[in-house]
Amino acid sequence: MESNRHAAFEIQHEPNERSTIQLRGDWLLRSERPTARQMLQELMASDTHTNWAFDCCDLGAWDSALMMTLARVYQAGRDAGHSIDTSGLPDAVQELLELSQAVPEAAVEEPVKSNAGLNEKVGVWTLDTLAGISRYTHFMGQLILDVGSVLRGRTPFRFREFWILIQQAGVQALPIVALLSFLTGLIIAFIGIIQLQKFAADIYVADLVGLVMTRELAAVMTGVIMAGRTGAAYAAQIGSMRVNEEVDALKTFGIEPVAFLALPRVLALVLMMPLLTILSNVISIAGGMVVSVSISSLTFSTYINETIRAVALTDVFVGVFKSLFFGVIIAFAGCYRGLHCGKDAAAVGRATTSAVVTAITWIVIVDAVFAVIFHILGI
């Protein structure tokens, strides 16, 4: 393989106010070469030599490395009012240089930097927040109205698609919900039993796992899993439909997208969340039981009896009741973000992320609110 010749240039200041730029060697991106700045410094050193020309007798191989240098030198020379003779350059270089100079630089307006003070920023933030709340409220109101519209038969409700949505939100979510619930129960029991053994109170690990899972964690864990799985899928599905103009197509037929797309998804998730939560309760208690029986003197029957004694039906009801709201939150966030998604692929990604973050945030907030309410009610 032939080795590269070192790229170099030399400026010949001639008596007739002409500077000739002699290019030598191989001007390639992969090799070292002089910069346009170095070339310009030498060229501009003479005030009297305002005619520039090129000599390429010793120029070897070249690529865009030469072109970017020449384009910069050419532009700077023209800006300084010099006359530049490019006839000494290879024909292809001349053509590319001409092409690069064919369209003048666009006068793109710089984005206006905001000089807003704190008060104005707070005001803008407040207005944006209020507008967001208004959009959310409108979406929620529309969803409620659409239930009536579907019941009156004014809006089509596709049961075949509804069953598919139920399958996606229910049966297909079973394995992941079961696995994570089992592991959660297992972890709580493992940590709990180590502490309880210090007080010879191993038996209460059943109480710990049973109460924590049924009242709180089964619903919250299932909610988080479904937000990441189904809520994100809803945002992506509906967002893609927006990008592909499918939502616009619905509107042109007078079909309300909220009723047609969001309502079945909300209903599917509201129906499936309590069932998944009940499953999570059972599996997580089983997970706790496995670890408790394995590392302590507890037996299966002791563990089950203690769980039955400790966990009241009310505790199960509390978790399942909350899961209904979590289902609404997840489906609502997914559908809302999907329907308000932009019209490019990146916007679908943003909508998906936003749907998951929104859903998880609201699940935690609503769970905290319920904790206070149930405490006040003595449940």
Q: Which residues of the shown chain bind other proteins in the complex (CB under 8 A)?
A: 156, 161, 240-241, 244-246, 248-255
Nearer to other proteins, 1 or 346 (CB): 346
Comparing C-alpha atoms, which of 166, 352, 328, 153 is closest to residue 242? 352
Closer residue to other proteins in complex, CB, 58/248 = 248
Nearer of residues 223 and 338 to other proteins, judged by Cβ = 338
Nearest distance, CB of residue 12 and other proteins, angstroms? 46
Question: Please, what is the minimum distance in Å from the beta carbon of residue 338 to other proteins?
Answer: 13
Residue 65 or 255 having the CB closest to other proteins: 255
Nearer to other proteins, 264 or 274 (CB): 264
Asked if 168 and 269 touch (Cβ cutoff 8 Å), the reply is no
Residue 247 Cβ, how far from other proteins at the closest point, in Å? Answer: 9
Annotate 340-357 with b (16+ C-beta within 10 A) or e (fewer). bbeeeeebbeebbebbbe
The C-alpha atoms of residue 179 and residue 251 are separated, in whole angstroms, by 41
Smallest distance, Å, CB 39 to other proteins?
Answer: 38
Measured CA to CA, the distance from residue 166 to residue 265 in angstroms comes to 8
Q: How far is the CB of 238 from other proteins (least distance, A)?
A: 11
Query: Which residues does residue 8 pair with via DSSP β-bridges, in sequence order?
Result: 24
| CB of 39 closer than 8 Å to CB of 52 | no
Cβ of residue 251: shortest distance to other proteins, in angstroms? 6
Sheet holding 51-62, edge to edge: 8-13, 18-27, 51-62, 83-85
Q: Nearest approach, Cβ of 156 to other proteins (angstroms)? A: 6
| Amino acid occupying residue 89 | L
Residue with smaller CB distance to other proteins, 89 or 241: 241
The C-alpha atoms of residue 72 and residue 93 are separated, in whole angstroms, by 14
Q: How many CB atoms lie within 10 A of CB 185?
A: 30
- The nearer residue to other proteins, 161 or 367, going by C-beta atoms, is 161
Q: Are 236 and 346 in contact (CB under 8 A)?
A: no
Bin 265: left if φ > 0, else alpha if -120 < ψ < 50, else beta.
alpha
| Chain position carrying tokens 């393989």 | 1
